[in-house]
Amino acid sequence: MLKKAGKDIPTKSGTKTNPKSQKEVPGQMLDKASKEIPTTSGTKSQIMMHLEKMVEESDIMHGAIRSVDMDEGVFRIAHSELIAKEDMQQLFEHEELGIDVIHTYIWYMYDTLMRGTELCNRFNFIAASRINTTFITKNPTSIMNELVDRFMVAGDNTTPSLYFLPFNSGNGGHWVLVAMDLSRLMVYYLDSLPGNWSKYPSMKKTVDAAILKFRSKKNYRNRKDITWVRVQCPQQNNSIDCGFFVLRFMRDIIALNRIDIPKMVWNNNLGFILILSDISFNLLLNHEYVLFS
């Protein structure tokens, strides 16, 4: 079982236990998957009003919680994620996103874009609740081994594929996305704030060590050093949108089936609203719930 997310990750405000994208990409058919990037009709204000009305009238605002059952296909560890009132408030009050919301959206992407298609062989997810700055600081060797175990489960990794790690800095709760291609010894770093991986040296060291140990266990020859690439991606204009950006980065990469991330063309348009609608409609309409006593 995964831990209930967010216990040990600080936030910018310091008032919540959970830490906290904007870009639209033109719809494009996927090979074999035959799915388009979901679109949302209406203006931003119309969509927001509709979603807020749905939430206000739902049982979730009166003590209900949603249980999202994640099978092994998502993180290779079956578990349930709980979404409650405070998680919905993170979305509609435009607060920093916690791990529960991050994980739920990853499940949504897996279920709607990937399940039953070749994309499952192209994209993999690493649970944010297992690997973050706080845990690396406490026990870097254990975290490195956990990464290696995750790599080993997914196969030989001899063809280009990506492992997505939504990484929380632990320094005010900033989210970045680390995408690893083990076959080409490439690591892509996507950050909606200026700077690169040098801000998190322990993270880079742990990721590098895990990749090299994995290749050693598989008896793969290391033909070259690991190359890190700072992807030129859209930037946030406030102090709270990093989680939304990380979600949109993953969503666009998967929906367009792009392994060569630096060659993507990012485009702004309703990204924040798309994530709100994706999560809200699915949580409010499609999942079991229980009431707190």
- CA distance linking residue 256 with residue 31, whole number of Å: 9
Label residues 59-85 b or e (16+ Cβ within 10 Å = b): ebeeebbbebebeebbbbeebebebbb
Model confidence pTM above 0.85: no
The least confident of 57-71, 225-239, 254-268 is 57-71
DSSP assignment string, 131-197:
SSHHHHHH-HHHHHHHHHHHHHHT----S--EEEEEEE-SSSS-EEEEEEETTTTEEEEE-SSS--G
| Residue that wins the pLDDT comparison between 269 and 207 | 207
User: How many angstroms separate the Cα of 185 from the Cα of each of 170, 209, 221, 248, 249?
Assistant: 26, 12, 11, 24, 20
Residue 164 banded pLDDT, cuts 50, 70, 90: very high
Average pLDDT, stretch 283-293?
Answer: 43
Token readout for 255 is: 């929906």
Query: Which H/E stretch holds residue 30?
Result: none
| Residue that wins the pLDDT comparison between 41 and 257 | 257
DSSP assignment string, 68-137:
EEE-HHHHSS-EEEEE-HHHHHHHHTT-PPPHHHHHHHHHHHIIIIITTSGGGGTEEE--TTTSSHHHHH
What 8-state DSSP symbol labels residue 290? E
Mean pLDDT of the chain: 74
- CA distance linking residue 276 with residue 244, whole number of Å: 10
Residue 282 banded pLDDT, cuts 50, 70, 90: low
* Nearest C-alpha neighbor of 11 from the set 221, 242, 213: 242
Q: How many CB atoms lie within 10 A of CB 278?
A: 19
* Residue 20 pLDDT > 50: no
The least confident of 18-32, 146-160, 278-292 is 18-32
| Residue that wins the pLDDT comparison between 275 and 54 | 54
Task: Say if CB 118 and CB 255 are below 8 A apart.
Answer: no
Residue entry with tokens 């910018």:
12
| pLDDT for the residue 29 | 29
Query: Which H/E stretch holds residue 238?
Result: none
Interior angle at CA 169, CA 166 and CA 173, nearest 5: 95
What values do phi and psi take at 94, rounded to 5?
55, 55
Residue 201 banded pLDDT, cuts 50, 70, 90: very high
Residue entry with tokens 């709100």:
276
- List, for residues 73-118, the tens digit of each pLDDT value: 888 878 788 777 777 777 766 778 888 888 888 988 898 889 999 9
Pairing of β 123-125 and β 162-168: parallel
